[in-house]
Structure 1
Amino acid sequence: MNGPEPAFGRAHWRLAAWTVSLMAALALCLSGCNASAPGITHSTPAPAALQAKADCLATTYWNEPLMTAPAAVADKMGSVPQDFVPEDVVTCSPGPRIFRQVSTEPAWASILEQHYSGNYSPLLAALAQQSDRQGGGSCLSVGETIPDLWLVDVAGRAVHIQWPRDSCGLTKPGVRQALAALKPTSSKSIDFRPADAVVPVTPPPARILAGANCLTTAHWYEDNGLADPSAKDMGGIPEGFQPVSVVECTAFGDNVTDARGTWRTITQKRLSGDLVPLVKFLHTPSDKAVGKLVCEASLEITPDLWLLDATGRAIHVKWPLTACHKSQPGIKEALAQLHVVETTVLKAVLQPVPGAKVAPAATPAPTVSAP
């Protein structure tokens, strides 16, 4: 490690350049239509092309800020083909994204792919609705996030479906209602990383220590958040190290007051369970930007993580981070699947006693001489 680094557990305030939101790719539509406006017509798009499989990377969201599908994607989208029988329904929803300053293509992006099962008849009926178009009238400017929608047949072939729209361009409510009635069966996060935008970085192995020590986290409160002394020992999982449990150290909890005074605290949790998913995600390299990126200005608190082996030895693990220094998807979800065995609130830093308030000295009344 070259010089002090921020500890991987403190709050990250990355006040980067303000950006388009990475959490929602908004399809800019119009709403608030005048229902009585003349000239409303109805149409159904041509049937969608039959494709080899559903592909969430064939998304309508890449070419922000225009919010329209690239031609290679749009040309294959359409209505449900006649006699197409779905055996699976897939939605592709945009997640966090990082953009280059000179391009509308993301430098890093995540898409949530979700699969659904159940009675597809209401969904097919909703998708069979015609779209509306009006020649006049007025609409209000409104944003709407529209997931990509795929239907998959028993052979795995898929069609990329256009949502029916009202005369102001918003999706008709029937499709969302039908999707909400289905049962989610699986989901996964898909990452998109162009090779010329970010490069992978793997930290050196962490030093194996005698045990976990959440109190090193106490230094997060000092020196404007510079790295605590244990930062020099942090790193990746060493080859051959077999973790059997996890210690999670989270700062910025409630203060505790005792006879000595008020303490800032660290919550220490010991976790157990199937560590395979967590270890897999912790082996993921971090991303380093090639050139300047536009990052979302947001706050993230990530706990310090220690992995312990069967003998009690411990390593202080670095979180894999995005190019904007946020945690990569998967780690927090894997931690949430573990069981909390023990929780301890540690008194970390004793706060200074506030000084007594001193009332300002009274100002003497002015002396007035009699005439």
Structure 2
Amino acid sequence: MRGFLPRWTTPVPRLALLACLALASSFALGGCTAGDPEPSITLDAPTVTALVPKPAILQKSIECPASPEDFPRNADTNYPAEPRGSVPADFVVEKVFLCRPDMTEIDGTAKLIAHQEELQGDFAPLLAALAVPSERADAGQLVCPAILETIPVLWLVNASGEAVDVALPTTECRQASGKPDTQKAIDALKIIDVEVFPVPEQYFPDPAALQSAVACSLPAGGNNMPTGTAAEMKGRVPDGFVPTEVIRCTPDLAAATVHDDQLSGDLTPLLEALAMPSERGGARSCLDYADVPPELWLVNAQGQTINVTWPLDNCEHLNPATALALNALTITTTTPVPATPTAKVSTP
């Protein structure tokens, strides 16, 4: 079944989620708070109106979302927004394409990917389901389940190759799953072609080279990314390297210095985070910002040092697990380092 994809743990922030009021109607579930019963609250029934979107704008080709994160959700109060809309009058459907997120296993880890399916069959039930109006109501009057639902993207194509991104009818809580005739009509069609958007390739950098000192400095220009020989010596934690000390080089651009932070604590979460693979390639939908991580050095009991890389996603953004593990450590000493390349021997 090619169903809608709910996320059961995420609240819908733009809709009124009156969970306690919803539960109050069931004596078996009891009250929401301890102590004496609160006076009963009576909500006026919401005024529900029918919504028929404007006709979808004709487009030259179909385009599925590049990433599962780009699919519309029931939390989107502007759904459907142009160019998405209802099926235009006199639009004769020749092909149907369904874009939907799906789960797949990559190297033992479940990940979301995007599917594009071409569907064929009797389109009449689907067109009838799409013609059903959506429902809307004042959000302040609604009692909606705390479920964030991903809405598939449905494209219709005519014989001339013109395409429309059609809106799926939704309930007053903006849930397409509440209009089951749409899903039934989709399930009745036959999949004749499937395109899976490429998933990012996972990789591990080469092991970091052993060094005799921590070179914690800020190169000219305020860029804390190593270049030349320093970049070649940076890498993942080598097998068998057991760190006893962590040095974080935090740039202070205003003062043109770097703070050499010596960290202590349980290093296990940090080593687990650093052992995660990085990603490259695949479908991308990236926020427009750049991450410049602090340089991170590990020191073993013999005084040998390594400059380790931070795992990145395919947008070259930092894996947050590394920062979280660092924040759990305690700063024992902080030493300012001039903004010129210098070497500082760390005391193991």
Q: TM-score by structure 2 length? A: 0.46
Q: TM-score by structure 1 length? A: 0.43
Structure with higher strand content: 1
Q: Taking CA–CA contacts closer than 8 Å with sequence separation of 6 or more, which of the two structures ends up with the larger relative contact order? A: 1
